[in-house]
């Protein structure tokens, strides 16, 4: 019985290790995040900052989102990367989204081969580490039979019995006590959101989905601030009604600002609609709709590196999961499965 149980436990450990290995491999990375693969407004640093915030391993996949015919993805050596030359490409893909599997360790260099795009900052370097593997399970400690309990002996004449433990005082409030009230959580501080993050308020390469994806998952509240970054004379920001937003018309805008960066404070709850009033820009996807909920507190938040402000977290708060937390979750689930499996065997 003990041998069979050991074999079963060893088999379970091997299966879980394989599951951990599979979950750690082939992690997709969307190059540039929501901005996609385009000419960055902030220059080459946009993609270098994105790469520095990610960990790449053999088996991972780079996803380049771009409009076919507007850009491409060209893998080159370091010399051609530095000189922005696509004369001797190692690989070129002209159809977006392009998915490139990282098959070897070391530095890999990618540029856009369209003339002028690389020199404008559309280039990225990624450093690939060895593929991650799941840690080997610790050897199972041999179980020893529990020692039989020693029978207690009855006290003989003259023995002094041990004193009984003092009763634990009751924690229930007595008459006249005033129970303490539970603390009331405070509302979060106002936050500042940079629309489109590093991409800014420009015509997106993949249509209106870029700005809607940016807004998805964000909790906009009364008192928050939207910042629209764009080039003066090239764009503007108009707040319009729902019908005007759908039709991309700006005949009677609620507000219109053409002095960047445009800062708009959210003063009312409900849906708000924004678009660029320059002809053709809204229909090309330069529009944004958000839903604003209740008011935030009046204490301003602390600016974050990405341009949005976030309030400081009170003690005990749990940090949100990172974008690449799927592997960690899989590891915890497998470890929990192993613990339950061992408990059932014992």
Q: What is the pLDDT of residues 143-154, one digit of tens each?
A: 444 444 555 444
Q: Which residue has the higher pLDDT, 1 or 222?
A: 222
pLDDT band at 322 (very low <50, low <70, confident <90, very high): very low
Among the listed ranges 98-112, 133-147, 224-238, which one has the minimum average pLDDT value?
A: 133-147
- State the Cα–Cα distance between residues 287 and 274, nearest whole angstrom: 6
**Model pTM?**
0.38
The predicted pLDDT at position 194 comes to: 95
The predicted pLDDT at position 165 comes to: 54
pLDDT band at 300 (very low <50, low <70, confident <90, very high): very low
Mean pLDDT across 172-188: 48
- State the Cα–Cα distance between residues 199 and 50, nearest whole angstrom: 12
Sorted by sequence, the CB contacts under 8 Å of residue 5 that are 6+ apart come out as 345
Answer yes or no: is pLDDT of 213 > 80. Answer: yes
The beta strand positions in the chain, using DSSP E, are: 28-30, 56-57, 61-64, 73-76, 91-93, 98-101, 106-111, 123-129, 192-194, 220-222, 225-228, 237-240, 255-257, 262-265, 270-275, 287-295, 302-303, 309-310
Mean pLDDT across 239-260: 93
Average pLDDT score, the chain: 76
DSSP structure string for 261-279: SEEEE--S-EEEEEE--ST
């Amino acid at each position: 019985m003990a041998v069979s149980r050991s074999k079963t436990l060893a088999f379970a450990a091997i299966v879980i290790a394989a599951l951990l290995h599979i979950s750690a491999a082939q992690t997709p990375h969307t190059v540039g995040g929501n901005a996609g693969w385009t000419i960055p407004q902030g220059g080459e640093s946009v993609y270098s900052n994105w790469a520095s915030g990610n960990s790449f391993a053999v088996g991972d996949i780079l996803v380049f989102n771009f409009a076919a015919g507007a850009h491409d993805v060209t893998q080159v050596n370091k010399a051609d990367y530095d000189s922005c030359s696509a004369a001797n490409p190692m690989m070129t893909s002209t159809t977006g989204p392009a998915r490139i599997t990282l098959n070897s360790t070391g530095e890999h260099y990618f540029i856009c081969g369209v003339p002028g795009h690389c020199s404008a900052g559309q280039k990225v370097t990624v450093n690939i580490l060895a593929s991650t593997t799941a840690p080997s399970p610790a050897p199972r400690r041999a179980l020893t039979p529990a020692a039989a309990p020693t029978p207690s002996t009855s006290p003989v004449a003259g023995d002094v019995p041990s004193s009984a433990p003092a009763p634990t005082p009751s924690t229930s409030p007595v008459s006249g006590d005033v129970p303490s009230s539970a603390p009331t959580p405070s509302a979060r501080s106002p936050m500042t959101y940079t629309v489109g993050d590093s991409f800014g308020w420009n015509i997106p390469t993949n249509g209106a989905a870029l700005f809607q994806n940016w807004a998805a998952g964000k909790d906009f509240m009364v008192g928050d601030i939207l910042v629209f970054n764009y080039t003066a004379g090239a764009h503007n920001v108009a707040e319009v009604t729902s019908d005007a937003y759908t039709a991309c018309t700006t005949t009677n805008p609620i507000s219109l600002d053409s002095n960047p960066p445009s800062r708009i404070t959210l003063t009312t709850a409900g849906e708000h609609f924004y678009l660029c009033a320059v002809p053709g820009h809204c229909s090309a996807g330069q529009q944004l709709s958000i839903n604003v909920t209740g008011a935030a507190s009046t204490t301003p938040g602390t600016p974050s590196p990405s341009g949005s402000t976030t309030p400081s977290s009170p003690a005990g708060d749990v940090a949100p999961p990172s974008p690449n937390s799927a592997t960690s979750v899989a590891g915890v689930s497998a470890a929990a499965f192993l613990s339950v499996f061992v408990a059932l065997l014992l």
